[in-house]
């Protein structure tokens, strides 16, 4: 008999939570979503800044679970913009009537597991509590912003905006003197979109980025072709390293090319555009000299695009291997610096000293602005989970993960029964097309819950040994790569005090899926299930 209020509480109404709700409902479970925000969409509700769009092609960055949905939705562009992505998510919510089981503006604050009742007590910021046999955290990998430690931010006399919480009604920046702090993907997209409208734009750059052109375009014909074979197309994605098609499925090692062929290959990848550039060679993130060849090619492209040679050098990354920080996909970013109304402040030469009522002081210069925009990133992968007080007896997740996350398959953590994480740390997650990884996790978790129901088992938890082995595998595989050389959010390096460990599983979506499927076939090897 089910003594809990729900079979499952799902936290978060982004792509993950919505599909999890749909799936559990289809399987006859009673589930509810608790969502802190006022609307569905997650990432695509919150990140409404100018120029926001996906960097995985929309044909792939979309659900595959319902052929009817695939056929009825028409993506307009190769990389859809935020309004189109949010419209898609709203359409999905309406089509499957998901909103009736979502409680908006309800933030989960505490999760407490009761061994006797074998359920979680879920407390929320409205003071309410409810119980659930299972909790599924669909809280997002990039959903908790990092507030930059910059003195005086609250003292600024003009308007201040954050890319992760842009006003829904939009912002008129016409004729304004605007500063953008941060040159990751959010900063790049914002800078490119607003440069033509503002009186003057000053970009505060601490670390330059590698960006590959999007070559965004309308995709009517391409979409029709993919729609004619969508099941096969999706199946192909699931057995790739990144969960999406990349220009050439037959990528080779660098040494298999002669020098002319290397340039041809990089040129071909560059001309195709997008993140597949990082898959030019199988050893691009393994071998420093291979990596340098790929980085040098991009550096030359930047020199070609930016008219002022000295400025071009400031925009070229030199302090980390290419692809070890998340690469960006741009639509005319470097060309923006050829405009008369755009200037760059290189914070490595002129450190950011603070914000004043008039603007920003960097080095010895006081810059005056009407508007400040911060695009300073997220407490990635663990931030949203650690923001919740998750406890089982004396054990808390915050304590357990203080030296870095410890999970089995990125799906569960020992000591916290019946709690699942979708695209959690130590799964491919942010290194992949997230929709492929989200669907794989939701399907795997849902299959497991059906098995437990059939067997009358109520409790599941990873064995400590299985978890230890998985943590070692994820760390050891990351150490074989160049990723740990970058001070990136993949490493937790952007959050003061956060333990530096590589957060995602690096060996690929294809390998990971085989492991998860194998674990299930081996009667959920490494998990302990009890009645």
For binding to ligand N01 (CB under 6 A), which residues are involved? 54-55, 142, 148, 150, 181-187, 189, 206-207, 326, 329, 347, 352, 375-378, 430, 489, 494
Q: How many residues bind ligand FAD (CB under 6 A)?
A: 36
The residues with which 218 forms a beta bridge, in sequence order, are 77
Instruction: Name which position in 9, 181, 266, 384 contacts ligand FAD (CB under 6 A).
Output: 384
Round to whole Å and give the CA distance between 247 and 449: 37
Q: Angle at which helices 15-26 and 434-455 pack, to 10 degrees? A: 30
| 10/142 with CB nearer ligand N01 | 142
* Closest of 156, 135, 155, 141 to residue 7, by C-alpha: 135
Shortest Cβ 185–ligand N01 spacing (Å): 3
Burial (CB < 10 A; 0-12, 13-18, 19+), residue 522, is exposed
187 binds, among ligand N01, ligand FAD, none (CB under 5 to 8 A by kind): ligand N01
Which does residue 416 bind out of ligand N01, ligand FAD, none, counting CB within 5 to 8 angstroms by kind? none
Does 382 contact ligand FAD by CB under 6 A?
Answer: no
Residue 42 is a binding residue for ligand FAD (CB under 6 A): yes
Which phi and psi angles does 198 have, rounded to 5°?
-85, 160
> What DSSP character marks residue 513?
H
Using CB under 6 A, which of the segments 10-18, 297-305, 493-501, 506-514 binds ligand FAD? 10-18
Phi, psi dihedral angles at 315 (to 5 degrees)? -90, -5
From 37, 208, 428, 484, residue interacting with ligand FAD (rule: CB under 6 A): 37
- Out of ligand FAD, ligand N01, none, which partner does residue 206 contact, by CB within 5 to 8 A per kind? ligand N01
In eight-state DSSP terms, residue 141 is S
Q: Helices (DSSP H) in 285-403: which residue ranges?
A: 288-305, 309-315, 383-386, 397-400
Among 4, 13, 32, 460, binds ligand FAD (CB under 6 A): 13
Binding partner of 158, given ligand FAD, ligand N01, none, CB within 5-8 angstroms per partner class: none
Q: Please choose which of ligand FAD, ligand N01, none residue 332 contacts, taking the beta carbon within 5 to 8 angstroms, the exact cut-off set by kind.
A: none
Q: Per CB under 6 A, which of residues 92..111 are in contact with ligand FAD? A: 107-108
**Cα 65 to the chain's mean position, in Å?**
21
Asked if 420 is part of the footprint of ligand FAD (rule: CB under 6 A), the reply reads no
Q: What is the DSSP letter of 142?
A: S
Q: Are 439 and 65 in contact (CB under 8 A)?
A: yes
Which run of H or of E encompasses 17? helix 15-26
Across 65-176, the runs of DSSP E, i.e. the strands, are 102-103, 108-114, 119-124, 129-137, 159-162
CB nearer to ligand N01: give 42 or 187. Answer: 187
In the shown chain, the binding pattern of residues 168 to 187 toward ligand FAD, with x for contact by CB under 6 A and - for none, equals ------------------x-
Which residue's CB is nearer to ligand N01, number 148 or number 332? 148
Q: Is 84 in the site for ligand FAD (CB under 6 A)?
A: no
**Binding partner at 321 among ligand FAD, ligand N01, none, C-beta below 5 to 8 Å by kind:** none
Q: Which of 50, 51, 140, 425 binds ligand FAD (CB under 6 A)?
A: 140
If 0-12 CB within 10 Å is exposed, 13-18 middle and 19+ buried, where does residue 454 land? exposed
Under rule CB under 6 A, residue 142 binds ligand FAD:
yes
- Choose which of 7, 8, 9, 17 interacts with ligand FAD (CB under 6 A): 17
Q: Give CA–CA dist 498/404, Å, rounded.
A: 8
CB of 211 closer than 8 Å to CB of 191: no
Q: Which residues bind ligand FAD (CB under 6 A)?
A: 11-17, 34-37, 42-43, 47, 52, 54-56, 61, 107-108, 138-143, 186, 384, 387-388, 422-423, 433-434, 438
């Amino acid at each position: 008999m089910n003594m809990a209020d729900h079979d499952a509480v799902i936290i978060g109404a982004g792509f993950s939570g919505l599909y999890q709700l749909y799936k559990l409902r289809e399987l006859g479970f009673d589930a509810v979503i608790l969502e802190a925000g006022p609307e569905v969409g997650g990432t695509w509700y919150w990140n409404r800044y100018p120029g926001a769009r996906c960097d995985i092609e929309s044909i792939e960055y979309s659900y595959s679970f319902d052929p009817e949905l695939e056929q009825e939705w028409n993506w307009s562009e190769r990389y859809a913009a935020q309004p189109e992505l949010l419209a898609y998510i709203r359409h999905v919510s309406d089509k499957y009537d998901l909103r009736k089981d979502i409680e908006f503006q309800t933030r989960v604050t505490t999760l407490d597991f009761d061994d006797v009742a074998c359920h979680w007590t879920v407390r929320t910021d409205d003071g309410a509590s409810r119980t659930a046999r299972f909790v599924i955290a669909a809280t997002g990998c990039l959903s908790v912003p990092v507030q930059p430690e910059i003195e005086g931010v609250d003292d600024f006399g003009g308007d201040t905006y954050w890319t992760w919480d842009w006003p829904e009604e939009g912002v008129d920046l016409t004729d304004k003197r605007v500063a953008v702090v941060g040159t990751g993907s959010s900063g790049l997209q914002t800078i490119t979109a607003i440069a033509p409208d503002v009186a003057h734009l000053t970009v505060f750059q601490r670390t330059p980025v590698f960006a590959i052109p999007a070559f965004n375009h309308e995709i009517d014909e391409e979409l029709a072709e993919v729609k004619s074979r969508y099941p096969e197309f999706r199946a192909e994605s699931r057995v790739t390293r990144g969960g999406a098609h990349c220009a050439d499925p037959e990528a080779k090692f660098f040494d298999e090319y002669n020098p002319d062929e290397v340039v041809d290959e990089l040129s071909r990848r560059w001309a195709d555009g997008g993140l597949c550039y990082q898959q030019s060679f199988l050893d691009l993130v393994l071998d420093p000299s291979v990596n340098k060849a790929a980085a040098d090619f991009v550096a030359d492209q930047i020199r070609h695009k930016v008219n002022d040679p000295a400025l071009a050098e400031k925009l070229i990354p030199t302090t980390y291997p290419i692809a070890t920080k998340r690469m960006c996909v741009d639509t005319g970013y470097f060309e923006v610096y050829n405009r008369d109304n755009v200037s760059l402040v290189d914070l490595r030469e002129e450190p950011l000293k603070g914000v004043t009522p008039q603007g920003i002081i960097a080095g010895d210069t006081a810059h005056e602005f009407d508007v400040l925009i911060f695009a300073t990133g997220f407490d990635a992968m663990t931030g949203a989970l650690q923001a919740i007080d998750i406890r089982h007896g004396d054990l808390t997740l915050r304590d357990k993960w203080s030296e870095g996350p410890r999970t089995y398959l990125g799906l569960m953590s020992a000591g916290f029964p019946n709690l699942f994480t979708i695209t959690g740390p130590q799964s491919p997650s942010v290194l992949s097309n997230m929709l492929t990884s989200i669907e794989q996790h939701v399907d795997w978790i849902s299959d497991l819950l059906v098995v437990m129901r059939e067997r009358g088992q109520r409790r599941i938890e990873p064995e400590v040994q299985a978890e230890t082995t998985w943590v070692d595998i994820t760390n050891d595989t990351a150490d074989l790569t160049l990723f740990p050389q970058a001070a990136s959010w993949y490493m937790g390096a952007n959050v003061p005090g956060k333990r530096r460990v590589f957060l995602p599983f690096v060996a690929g979506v294809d390998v990971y899926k085989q492991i998860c499927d194998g674990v299930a076939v081996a009667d959920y090897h490494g998990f302990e299930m009890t009645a």
